[in-house]
Amino acid sequence: MQIELLPHPTAPPLPIRTIGCDVARLVDGRLGFVFLVVGEIERLRIPSAGVPARRDGLWRHTCFEAFVRPLAGDTYFEFNFSPSGEWAAFRFDGYRSGMVAADVEPPTIQSAADANHLSLIASIDLGPTPELVPWENWRIGLSAVIEAEDGTVSHWALAHPPGAPDFHAKSCFQRQVAPAATL
């Protein structure tokens, strides 16, 4: 199911028409994402492919993010995926509090771009996260930070709370993902 992300109301004009994402919980315990940006991609700053590694601060440039939480409780996880192949994963005890590096294996990330499309496919194994029980539904928030060639940044998400962009707000966890079906 394609989920459309919305620009923050204060977003500057950018050469982007749409950003969408497909999400799937896979039978092997992984959570998969396919982000697709449509617009004048050559007018964006896209991090060059590099060595996949954990790195902080990816949100300062073009990257894609997923926030995942169980239906009950305040604990949640943040995952950042860069077109460079770099990534970040954090666990929070509550809203922007108790942040620690999440103990997860590196995700797989693939990215491609042409004149009109930027795609990023990522999957991450959430089996080692005891808070995310495999047979329960989870709430997710999806977002993107897009940097234009002039350094202007816009923030895209499923929903935006009032005020400055804040992907951590509980109101941004707009979707539920059900466990993968097995035969």
Q: Is the pLDDT score of 183 beyond 80?
A: no
- Which residues is 54 bridged to in the sheet? 87
Classified as helix, coil or strand, 143 is strand
Q: Is the pLDDT score of 181 beyond 70?
A: no
Tell me which residue has tokens 């954990």.
54
Predicted confidence (pLDDT) per residue in 96-135, tens digit: 999 999 999 999 999 999 999 999 999 999 988 999 988 8
What pLDDT score was predicted for residue 182?
A: 57
What pLDDT score was predicted for residue 128?
A: 82
Predicted confidence (pLDDT) per residue in 65-92, tens digit: 999 999 999 999 999 999 999 999 999 9
What pLDDT score was predicted for residue 11?
A: 87
Distance CA 80, CA 52 (A): 12
**Of the candidates 37, 68, 18, 30, which has an alpha carbon nearest to the alpha carbon of residue 170?**
68
Tell me which residue has tokens 């979707």.
175
What is the Cα gyration radius of the chain?
Answer: 16
The domain locations on the chain are: 2-177
Distance CA 89, CA 73 (A): 19
Which residues contact residue 147 at a Cβ distance below 8 angstroms, ignoring those fewer than 6 apart? 44, 45, 61, 62, 153
Predicted confidence (pLDDT) per residue in 14-48, tens digit: 889 999 999 999 888 899 999 999 999 999 999 99
Task: Please give the backbone phi and psi of residue 172, each rounded to the nearest 5 degrees, phi first.
Answer: -80, -15
A 10 A CB-CB count for 114 gives: 9
Predicted confidence (pLDDT) per residue in 130-180, tens digit: 999 888 999 999 999 999 999 999 999 999 999 999 999 999 999 999 988
* CATH number of this structure's domain 2-177: 2.60.40.1190
